[in-house]
A = this chain, B = another copy of it.
Amino acid sequence: MSCANVMKRDRTAVINPLVTCQPMGAMYAVAGIRRGLPLVHGSQGCSTFVRYSFSRHFREPSEIAVTSLHEDAAVFGGRKNLISGIGNLAVRFKPSVIGAISTCSSEIIGDDMEGFIKIAKEELKQKIGEEKAEKIKIVPISTPSFVETHFKGYDNGINALVNNLAQDPEDSNEKVNIIPGIVNPGDIREIKHIMGLMGIDGIILTDISDPFDSPLRPSTTETRPFYPKGGTTLEEIEDSSNSLGTIALCGYAGSGALSLEKKYEVPAAVGPIPIGVKNTDNFLRNLKKFTDTEIPDSVLDERGLLIDSMADLASRYLFGRKVAIFGDPAISAGIARFVCELGMIPSVVCTGVENPEFVSEMKKVAKESDEPVDVMIGSDLRALEVKLEEEPVEMMIGHSDGRLFAKHLDIPLVRVGYPVYDRAGYHRVPIVGYNGSVNLIDRITNTVFDKYYADEHWKLQQ
């Protein structure tokens, strides 16, 4: 048993941030809706940078609209931009949901988004008739860029969707809501796979798995406008108030779950993300609690395959190796716990956020570690680099933005999470659930093989 040394960045400036600003998270949330469109109320960079970032990570199109604020809006407000933006988008794209997402500009200008949206709705009714207009939901999402990070933006996005769209409860739908957090398509599919084996229907709030990983099949591709396959339907979000419970996989993404609990008595469970054995066990217990479903052998056999891999690989190749983990707080904490389960030491866990859920998760993890854990909060990649120059580790686990740091430090980088743009297919391979944890142990072990056994290759002969 060991302790967590919590340390904050000791600089004013951020150098190579591990986070971005709120709007990105809200765009991510809205992108998971079937025919859902994010409309960023801000400058063009606010949509373009994010589209660019999504596209290079997923290698997929990412359709995000913007109200194109300019100097005139800075002076006179963005009312005209938002109202005409909504109108144009609604009429030309016929979406199910428009998520109107604020930015630093629109928040500073002080635009009354809710008021503007009402007007836009009225105008829309005039233009296309009440019935059609009613079908297009417009949800305001407040995501001031200068408050917290994109994780909060995601949380705000999901919360706004649930608060604006969930209907008054009717009969139970016997489903469980899942709020995935900013995870990958493969992760969401793995969660659905587990629920499928348990015979539980889920409502994913929201489901980017198909929209951000969709087949190339021109014969079935929806065009004019292009919409990717899949995503959570509006009806599902409306129905989320009738579910047996809500599980938010990531500690930072619980607001929607808590809203459903408070407003509609849908019980909530928030985090930890099911990475590794104990966290996935915990996830299953939550599913069981909400649905009163026994854990089937098929799931326990998948668990047994993970256990088998850990028995075969961990003590021999991984035990005692020091790891630095960085990036997403939920994923980092989950991986930190998993590496403890592997007998490794999460010497440094570094994230750009300061939220208390993360700190408390990391304290729990530290207790399970054999050696002290340095928990860097509100931190950045440069701080991590300086730290690792002084106290090297044998492996870094995090996203692609750490690649040049890992290269400089000559520490191998196991890529996980978002963004990973310098490798192929990572968005498709889950790291959650028992199967995802097997993938993770393989990725970690193979990195050790590649880096540390190259010269003593005979040690791998058996």
Contact residues of A with B, CB < 8 Å? Answer: 52, 56, 59, 213-217, 220, 229, 297, 300-305, 307-309, 311-313, 317, 403-404, 407, 421-425, 428, 438-439, 441-442, 445-446, 449, 453-454, 457, 460-462
Checking B213, B214, B302, B461 against A422 with a beta-carbon cut-off of 8 angstroms, the contacting residue is B461
Q: How far is the CB of A411 from chain B (nearest CB, A)?
A: 15
Q: Decide if B309 touches A424 in the complex (CB within 8 Å).
A: yes
Given known contacts A217-B300, A317-B424, what 6 new A-B pairs fall within 8 Å (CB)?
A52-B462, A215-B302, A215-B307, A216-B305, A217-B307, A403-B457
9 A–B pairs (Cβ distance < 8 Å), ordered by A:
A59-B309, A213-B305, A214-B308, A215-B305, A215-B308, A217-B300, A217-B303, A309-B424, A425-B438
User: How many angstroms between the C-alpha atoms of A446 and B423 in the bound complex?
Assistant: 6
Closest 5 CB pairs of A and B: A215-B304, A425-B442, A216-B308, A422-B460, A217-B304
Checking B217, B303, B407, B421 against A215 with a beta-carbon cut-off of 8 angstroms, the contacting residue is B303
User: How many angstroms between the C-alpha atoms of A382 and B391 in the bound complex?
Assistant: 44
Residue numbers in B under 8 Å from A312 (CB-CB): 59
Q: Decide if B424 touches A441 in the complex (CB within 8 Å).
A: yes
Residue numbers in B under 8 Å from A59 (CB-CB): 308-309, 312-313
Q: Decide if B457 touches A301 in the complex (CB within 8 Å).
A: no
Which secondary structure characterizes the binding site on chain A?
helix
Q: How far is the CB of A341 from chain B (nearest CB, A)?
A: 14
Q: How far is the CB of A48 from chain B (nearest CB, A)?
A: 13
Checking B217, B220, B304, B428 against A216 with a beta-carbon cut-off of 8 angstroms, the contacting residue is B304
Residue numbers in B under 8 Å from A453 (CB-CB): 422
User: How many angstroms between the C-alpha atoms of A153 and B229 in the bound complex?
Assistant: 46
Q: Decide if A422 touches B438 in the complex (CB within 8 Å).
A: no
User: How many angstroms between the C-alpha atoms of A175 and B404 in the bound complex?
Assistant: 53
User: How many angstroms between the C-alpha atoms of A422 and B216 in the bound complex?
Assistant: 35
Q: Decide if B422 touches A457 in the complex (CB within 8 Å).
A: yes
Nearest to A448 among chain B residues (CB) is: B424
User: How many angstroms between the C-alpha atoms of A460 and B317 in the bound complex?
Assistant: 30
Given A215-B300, A215-B303, A304-B216, verify A449-B424 contact (CB < 8 Å): yes
Residue numbers in B under 8 Å from A441 (CB-CB): 424-425
Q: Decide if A421 touches B461 in the complex (CB within 8 Å).
A: yes
User: How many angstroms between the C-alpha atoms of A213 and B308 in the bound complex?
Assistant: 9
Residue numbers in B under 8 Å from A438 (CB-CB): 425, 428
Q: Decide if A460 touches B301 in the complex (CB within 8 Å).
A: no
Given A428-B438, A438-B428, verify A423-B403 contact (CB < 8 Å): no
User: How many angstroms between the C-alpha atoms of A197 and B59 in the bound complex?
Assistant: 26
User: How many angstroms between the C-alpha atoms of A425 and B446 in the bound complex?
Assistant: 9
Given A56-B462, A215-B300, A403-B457, verify A309-B422 contact (CB < 8 Å): no
Q: Decide if A215 touches B424 in the complex (CB within 8 Å).
A: no
Nearest to A230 among chain B residues (CB) is: B301
Residue numbers in B under 8 Å from A305 (CB-CB): 213-216, 428
Nearest to A311 among chain B residues (CB) is: B216
Residue numbers in B under 8 Å from A304 (CB-CB): 214-217, 220
User: How many angstroms between the C-alpha atoms of A437 and B195 in the bound complex?
Assistant: 26
Q: Decide if B422 touches A301 in the complex (CB within 8 Å).
A: no
Best-surrounded residue of A213, A304, A404, A446 (most CB of chain B within 10 A): A304
Residue numbers in B under 8 Å from A461 (CB-CB): 56, 421-422
User: How many angstroms between the C-alpha atoms of A229 and B304 in the bound complex?
Assistant: 11
Residue numbers in B under 8 Å from A404 (CB-CB): 457
Q: Decide if A446 touches B462 in the complex (CB within 8 Å).
A: no
Residue numbers in B under 8 Å from A403 (CB-CB): 457
Q: Decide if B424 touches A446 in the complex (CB within 8 Å).
A: yes
User: How many angstroms between the C-alpha atoms of A250 and B354 in the bound complex?
Assistant: 55
Best-surrounded residue of A307, A424, A441 (most CB of chain B within 10 A): A424
